[in-house]
Structure 1
Amino acid sequence: MTMASGGKDTVRFLIIDSSPGEAESFLNVFRESGYSTRASLINSLDDLTTAISGHQHWDLLLMTDPPPPLSFSQIFDYINQKDVDLPGIILTSPDGERDSLSLMKMGARAVIPLGHDEYLLAVAQKELEDLKIRRHHRRMSVALHESEKQRRLLLDDQVDAVVYVNNGRIQYVNSAFLKLLGLPEEESLDGKLFKDLIITKDQQDVEEFLIGIEESGQALAVIQCPLIAKNGSEVPTRAVISPTSFNGEFTLSLQIKFNEQEAEQTGADKTLEKSAPDSETGLFDRKQFEQELDVAIQRAVSGKGKATLCCLHIETLKAIHEQHGKEVSQKLLKALAKKVTSHLGGVHPVASMGGGNFSALFREGEEREVKLLADSLLTAVTGEDIVIDQNLLSVKLSIGAVILSDTTNDAKTLMVQSRQATVQAQKEGGNQLCFYQKRKVSSVHSVEKQLAGMVNQALKHKKFRLSYQPVISLAGSPAEYYEVSFVMTDAQGREHEAAAFRPKLEKVSLWNKLDRWQLIEASKALMAKRKEGSDTRMLMHVGGISATDDTFLPWMKVALKAAGIPAGAVAIELSEQNLARYSEVIPDFFRSLKDMGCQTVVSEFGCSLNPLEGIAHLDVDLVKLDPSFTEDLNDGDNAEELQKMIEALSQSGRKVIVPGIETAGEMTPVWQFGADFIQGSYMQPPSERMDFDFGSDG
């Protein structure tokens, strides 16, 4: 599974189904949801062996009834025998007699009734996400193992004595520590209680201190820690304690230093001092705060205790700055920082993040405790106005919170989530706490309904605009091609490119209205451009619904004639998935276009089960590949896949357009592979005008 251009995942399927048509319908379910696909149809155990034995990684196995003599038990036995991580989903007839439990015991991850597309999509998305996590875990395990080996080598060569302690027991000591105590290098202290190496009178104090550090998640600390050497003598040392991870577990790293080494002691004191908050405001600097957050994440992941990251936003700061100036607003910020840190008592680190935002790390991990603490903080900060330079200023504060859990792994994501929760608190009136909540994923039908409503509103209020992107010939064609598309602006002012929502809506009659609007508006721009004397042509994508509308082509012929545009200047695109969806009408639709004099184009090509067979019987002039084909061309397998597709299409007499060219490095192999046209932001991103200088194109 790879990330394709434009942010879409490319999912690779093995499909076991006696009907290629049914297999194509499975793929369309995923393509309509934004995935690019690759697929191979399996008809025998030999086919399965060939597919799995190759260098290609497959993401999902979709199965209906296997063709005889292949059976489900054979398939799962073979996959288990080869130890391949390939989730299998079985689709069964609703009235079939298959026992779902027995199929699950064989190895199926899910058994889904045929025709339940939303169910299939939901299960597949979970399986793909789990697969991605497993693959990431395996990669990280290998990297961690190598990192641990390198760290042991570095620690063994380190001059300072180092001990790793978890739950009071030693996990690792380096050779310098063994030497410090007069122990032989081959002696192992792993698993022994660290307190047993400390002089008797200090054992309890040190043990309690270490437990306190583990529980509090303090980022750095120092304690006197006299040790006992092998000969029974006391070794006057202290430990500089910092959190780390070892063998995937939250661990305390103790750097052991002699007390009489004044230079080192001064350095350690300075280090400890750096970890303290600012004496005037009580704020940590960002680096210190991030260190505290990293420790809290390690503790949460290791099950050592939860914490909560909060974003505190001063809503009234901007207005105060505009009304009273920078000096007053800066003094207010400092006063509020003191109030916040004073109320939190130094237990919960706070840092300024700029823009009237503070981040606070609450040492609480339960919603009830977090809410109590946040409510008391809101009362303390906003309960009364603040006087700054004789100005009485009111303060409004919104707090967004995200609780750290054992699934947390990224500090940046937590920061974003806490900020999103703060925005929600503002929307709900401010002066309150909101917890971050993941967006609820709508069902497919619900999404389509919402999108249709947005498009209707945009049409009603004329919130569409056209965009044009050049399609550049690598063979010196005199024609200047532009692909026309459109952008919709929603009620919140956000812009959405047509490609983002077309797969969901091009099956409904509403899209036919958009196709007609697009043709009329683009024809005006095309006519104006052609009057300049250039042979400018446009590629226009139409929805599958227009191919089924008997009135569309007659209307289009009249519209082009009225605009004064020859049909030869227009190339009509249909996506590959529509070829399967409307297989009965597409051949006639393309023939009619050719009779009119238009060119025909199949776009988003190469994601079906048998792409070349799908267009073999169609009169197609241009084939535009799916953008996923230009993803990571530095990978030899991806480059080979693209080359084979271009060569096969060229041999069939079709001109090939390769989209998604974002760098010069991507353009070079595409040219070498024999593509006829290229398109992408490297040459020019979509523009509101047809203004590309084809004469300067190299």
Structure 2
Amino acid sequence: MGIDRKTIRLLVLEDSKNEAERIISLFRNSGYATRAHRITSLDNLNEALNSTWDLCIAAHHSDNIAPLTALQSIQRMARDISFIQLTEDNSSESLTESLALGAQDAVPHGEDERLILVAKRELASLEDRRARRAAEIALHETEKRCKLLLESSMDAIAYVHDGMHIYANGPYLQLFGYADADEMEGMPMIDLIDGPDQNHFKDFLKNYRSEEGNAELAFTGITAAAQRFQAKMFFSPAQYDGEPCVQVVIRITNGKAELEEKLREISSQDLVTGLYNRQHFLERLDTAAERAVNAGQPASVAYIKIDHYMALQADLGLAGIDILLADLANTLRQHLTSNSQIARFADNAFSVLRSDVTPEQFKPELLNLIKKVELQLFDINGRTAQTTLSIGVAGLSEKTSKAADVLKRAHHCADQLTQGNALKLHNPADDLAAAANRGDLVAMAQQALANNTFKLLFQPIISLRGDEDELYEVLLRLVNPQGEEVPPSDFLNAAVSAGLADKIDRWVLLNSIKLLTEHRSKGHQTRFFIHLSSASLQDQSLLPWLSTVLKASRLPADSIILQIRETDAVAYLKQAKQLSEGLHALHCQVALGQFGCTLNPYNTLKHMHIDFVKIDGSFIKELSTAEDQETLKQMLAALHAQAKHSIVPFVESASILSILWQAGVNYIQGHYLQGPSQAMNYNFTSGEDSL
């Protein structure tokens, strides 16, 4: 209900002013305070995107700007705006096409109640995303402050895991006579305790692990120089880098060895140029990132690299290069607006932070700076020097979670300008493409989702009992930028870890339903087995989404069979049960894959409504003995007694067909019959004769 009370900012792509006003009034009449803007051209949209918006509702057609162009412009500028496409009709082609192009949802024109419900859902999702980004910024800021507090504390503080040091602050190192934290990292804590107290310490640590809360221990410490001192340890539970550990605070008890507080006043200025130094700039950048997330205030970061710096340094000498840097700093001050925060970030580079502008808006000012420096003659102790600049620019927006990433993007853009004397704006698509080219499996999967470049293959599942069912299993394939196929287990496991599995599942479902609808329109009675990951088992929005897609496509629900792995079903049995019941309510069928690998596989069948059971491939590879064959036969008999249709995969030769026939298998699948193919061309009518 919190969303209803907030003012929503609405972009409307609609040629008719009256229709746009009707849509806006629809939201106001539904209880939303609304601030709206009607898009009239691409330039008008780009200008509007400099502000923060929540939703964009696009008509199915516009003479001013195509809906797809508007969507791509929003994506290119990395704005977090939910895009809802209005369609001309309720056909599956229109709805599926809109979703495949990247719209968050598609609603037939005129279905006002549905539009409001979809908008409410997208606003809730948007609120969650913004809250998460704000939480990430707050967590980063908190961690930074905690580390500063630890470093500036007069107390000797360390973090210990399993008796080993994983962090120690300055006073702790000083107390024990160590100059560098690396010397202590990984060192057993017991090495810092005098021999007679070590057994007592071991016993204490064992007991403490079974306790809750704080504890303390008096001990005799020993320094690196073998000097002894009396002190107390104070233990408390803690976390370091997300892992549980123990915080240890040590205080001297004899009162003679007082710890000196280390307070290092870090100047905010670079001594050579008088600009901000690196540390101060990073602090300002963190603050700007926080404002971008919490207040929607955009900002831009420029990384300004001096071209051919090493050659200049060799020619001018250290004193001469310092003069050149100081002159360049003055040029930056003179030609950049007064609200620019300029720093010397590295020996050969400056950095600039500008609030309230996007990289596109910052670009003309930086291009003028490049021209000015190119033409400028610098006087270095009577000699003339010239140089040029390479500038990379990246933006901070409400989607920015780490300010350091923005700086890294700007730096990378500058490094790409190998010829120098140029400017490059960061394009978010470049990061994804670069990561994919480096072999990053998650980036490849993200790129395939964004560019619609996954491949679907189809492998027939054939009846051993003479039925002419046209069954295919849908298999997903990913091709890397070098044109090579990535092993499915590799990229699917990476996708699950990265939280992309549910998105990939929906992509497969959408595209499979689209292809199946087209294939069945030619007179085929084909049905698909489509895999669902564990992420989809936990996705409560999957069923209503699937119901909408099936209705829009006018595809019979029983033409798709959703396949769930047995191990996933066991791990999420409650969710799997609810999903199987919901699927059967939609008249979809359910298959249990890789069956027989758990301790009690038949227990899963008691809780789920299962139509097909696919035996795990390990049982097929172990049919060389009569005992193995009998095991398979008993499993099949138990399944058939429960009216489950059995499928045996990995049939790679004709030699086991007679065994499978005698065992009573319903369906078989494998390369001996036909491998995965992009075409659905298996002749099911001759299936029994060909076997």
TM-score bin (small chain): 0.3 to 0.5
What TM-score do the two structures reach when normalised by structure 2? Answer: 0.35
